[in-house]
Amino acid sequence: MRSNEGMTLKLALLAGLLQAVALPQSKIMTWKVEGVERQAIVYGPTAKTSSGKAPLVLAFHGHGDTADNYQGVALHERWAQAVVVYPQGLNSARDGAPGWQVEKGKDADRDLKFVDQMLASLRSQYSVDDARIYATGFSNGANFTYLLWAERPRVFAALAPVAARIMPSVHLTTPKPVLHMGGTADRQIAFADQKEAIEAARRANGALDKGEACGRYCTLYESKGGAPVMTVIHPGGHVYPLETSQAIVAFFKKHTL
């Protein structure tokens, strides 16, 4: 019995070591965008896809947060085949805390230009599948995700804003699969504002039917054009719930350009 137990322990330790070796490794990438240094934490793929090309996910932190902290959502661990990028926002004029533009023309479009330059550079360093580029974010980063939908619709295959509003100047004109996650008790981005974003997404996608349950807190609004709106509306506040990253990756995997 002791011998078997020892062998089991050795096998478990070996499995743990192999798993650790397979974990994605990160690096800091930097760019000069109109004279300003920009940074992102980048995880390269640790598993191959059948096509040999990697999906690409841009994940934007909330206002006042950092890329270093936001990488804790672990999207890179949920999708080993993807290039996962956690960009760092610049300090805002509003309060000096790092964040993202949420309207076209604000801050000289510094963040839209940053995304353009990041994508060009990442395509040169990785074998990126242009049909599988995605954007997600939390709070202010999620608001920026909606802006990316409006201003770069041909780039992204699907989007997943978490706890987001959409500004009145942001117009969604191209149908895109979207997963919107939010809490009815959110006091930072009122749920009424989040509902307006969801309705704007449904109008843009032509997903105007009643919707059907797709799991706990989940509703799926199908679109004849193939751009569904999925919502996960929980009873909590301004949070990034457990299993959010897993749900986002599962949604992205279903959609390509």
Is 221 contained in some domain?
yes
107 occurs within a structural domain: yes
Q: Give 48's pLDDT tier (boundaries 50, 70, 90).
A: confident
- Residues forming a β-bridge with 60: 137
Identify the three-state secondary structure at position 61.
coil
In a domain, 6, yes or no: no
3 state DSSP class of 41: strand
pLDDT at 11: 44
Percent pLDDT > 90 in the chain is 86
Residue 90 lies inside a defined structural domain of this protein: yes
Indicate which CATH number applies to the domain containing 80. 3.40.50.1820
169: in domain? yes
Count: domains in the chain: 1
Task: Give residue 189's domain range.
Answer: 24-253
Q: Is 55 part of a structural domain of the chain?
A: yes
CA dist 35 → 32, 66, 121 (Å): 5, 21, 16
- 231: pLDDT strictly greater than 90: yes
The whole model's pTM is what?
A: 0.90
Strand pairing of 229-234 and 178-183?
Answer: parallel
